[in-house]
Structure 1
Amino acid sequence: MGRFIIARNSAINPLTALSSMENTSLRTLNTGTFIVDGTLGGRPGSIEIYGIGFGANGQNLLQPNGGAIVTRVYVVVDGVRLVDISDVSINGNNLYRWLALGDGNAFDAAIMSGPSEVRLSDFSEAQGGREGHDSMFGYGGNDTLQGDSENDSLWGGDGDDVLTGGTGNDLVLGEAGFDVARFVVGRASAEWALLADGSWRVTASTEGTDIISGIERIDFIGTSVMLGNTARPRDLNGDGRADLAWRGADGTVALWTMSNLSITGGGTVARVGSDWTLLGLAETDSNGRADLVWLSNAGAIQVWSMNGTSVGLANVPGSRPLGTTFQGMADMTGDGNADLLWRDLSTGAVSMQRLDGVYGVSGSRSVGTVTTDWTIAGLGDFNADGRADILWRGAAGQVVVWAMDGNTVIGGGQVANVGLDWQVRGLADFNADGRADMVWRNSTTGDVVVWLMNGTSIIGGGAVAQVETSWNIRAVGDVNGDGRADLIWRSGGGTVVNWFMDGATVRGGGVVLDVSTDWQMV
Structure 2
Amino acid sequence: MPNSNSSLDLSIETSTSKYTSTNLFDDNTVPNLSFKLGHSSSSNDENQSSIAAKNPNPNPRFSNAAIVADFNGDGKADKFWRNSQTGETAIWLMDGSNPRASTVTTVDASWDFSYADFNRDGKTDIFWRNKNSGENVIWLMDGTNIAAQASVQTINPVWTYNIADFNGDGKSDVLWRNTQTGENATWLMDGTNVTTAAFLPTTDTTWTSSVVDFNADGKNDIFWRNNITGENKVWFMDGINTSEYALSKLEGNWEANVGDFNNDGNSDILWRNYETGENKVWLMSGIFISEGNLSKQDSAWKSYIGDFNGDGKTDVFWHNQTTGENTAWLMDGTSIGTAAFLPATGASWQPNIGDYDGDGKTDVFWRNGETGEVAVWFMNGTTANGVFLPQIGTEWSAF
Q: Which TM-score tier does this pair reach, normalised by the shorter chain? A: 0.5 to 0.7
Matches within 5 A, 1:109-124: none
Match of 1:355 in 2: 189
Match of 2:198 in 1: 365
- Determine what percentage of the aligned residue pairs are the same residue: 31
Note if 1:304 corresponds to 2:133. no
Bigger strand share: 1
Superposition CA RMSD, Å: 3.6
Q: Which has the higher contact order (CA 8 A, sep 6+)?
A: 2
Note if 1:343 corresponds to 2:177. yes
1:257–1:263 Cα contact (<8 Å) kept: no
Q: Which amino acid aligns with 1:336?
A: G
Tell me how far 1:282 sits from its aligned partner.
2.6
Matches within 5 A, 1:210-359: 231=65, 233-236=67-70, 237-240=72-75, 243-250=78-85, 251-253=87-89, 255=91, 265=99, 267=101, 269-270=103-104, 271-278=106-113, 280-297=114-131, 298-308=133-143, 310-322=144-156, 324-357=158-191, 359=192
- Provide, for residues 151-176 of structure 1, a one-character-per-residue CA deviation record: whole Å limited to 9, x for no partner: xxxxxxxxxxxxxxxxxxxxxxxxxx
Note if 1:433 corresponds to 2:259. no
Note if 1:391 corresponds to 2:223. yes
In structure 2, relative to structure 1, the CA distance for the partners of 1:232 and 1:273 (3 Å cut) is closer
CA distance in 2, matches of 1:456, 1:435: 11
CA distance in 2, matches of 1:264, 1:439: 33
2:160–2:178 Cα contact (<8 Å) kept: no
Q: Secondary structure at the match of 1:446?
A: coil
In structure 2, relative to structure 1, the CA distance for the partners of 1:328 and 1:314 (3 Å cut) is same
Match of 1:516 in 2: 369
CA distance in 2, matches of 1:345, 1:333: 25
Q: Which amino acid aligns with 2:229?
A: A
2:280–2:291 Cα contact (<8 Å) kept: no
1:477–1:485 Cα contact (<8 Å) kept: yes
When normalised by structure 1's length, the TM-score is: 0.48
Tell me how far 1:495 sits from its aligned partner.
6.7
Which of 284, 294, 297 pairs up with 1:467? Answer: 297
Matches within 5 A, 1:116-195: none
In structure 2, relative to structure 1, the CA distance for the partners of 1:422 and 1:266 (3 Å cut) is farther
CA distance in 1, matches of 2:311, 2:259: 13
CA distance in 1, matches of 2:323, 2:73: 27
Tell me how far 1:491 sits from its aligned partner.
5.4
Tell me how far 1:479 sits from its aligned partner.
6.5
Q: Which amino acid aligns with 1:427?
A: V
CA distance in 2, matches of 1:506, 1:269: 42
2:309–2:330 Cα contact (<8 Å) kept: no
CA distance in 1, matches of 2:298, 2:245: 33
Tell me how far 1:277 sits from its aligned partner.
0.7
* Gap runs ≥5 in structure 1: 1-187, 189-225
In structure 2, relative to structure 1, the CA distance for the partners of 1:512 and 1:231 (3 Å cut) is closer
2:66–2:115 Cα contact (<8 Å) kept: no
In structure 2, relative to structure 1, the CA distance for the partners of 1:232 and 1:484 (3 Å cut) is farther
Match of 1:400 in 2: 233
In structure 2, relative to structure 1, the CA distance for the partners of 1:494 and 1:469 (3 Å cut) is same
CA distance in 1, matches of 2:102, 2:326: 21
CA distance in 2, matches of 1:499, 1:319: 43
- Provide, for residues 172-221 of structure 1, a one-character-per-residue CA deviation record: whole Å limited to 9, x for no partner: xxxxxxxxxxxxxxxx9xxxxxxxxxxxxxxxxxxxxxxxxxxxxxxxxx
1:246–1:521 Cα contact (<8 Å) kept: yes
CA distance in 2, matches of 1:489, 1:313: 37
- Provide, for residues 377-427 of structure 1, a one-character-per-residue CA deviation record: whole Å limited to 9, x for no partner: x01111111111111112200111111112211x34122111231111x22
1:254–1:266 Cα contact (<8 Å) kept: no
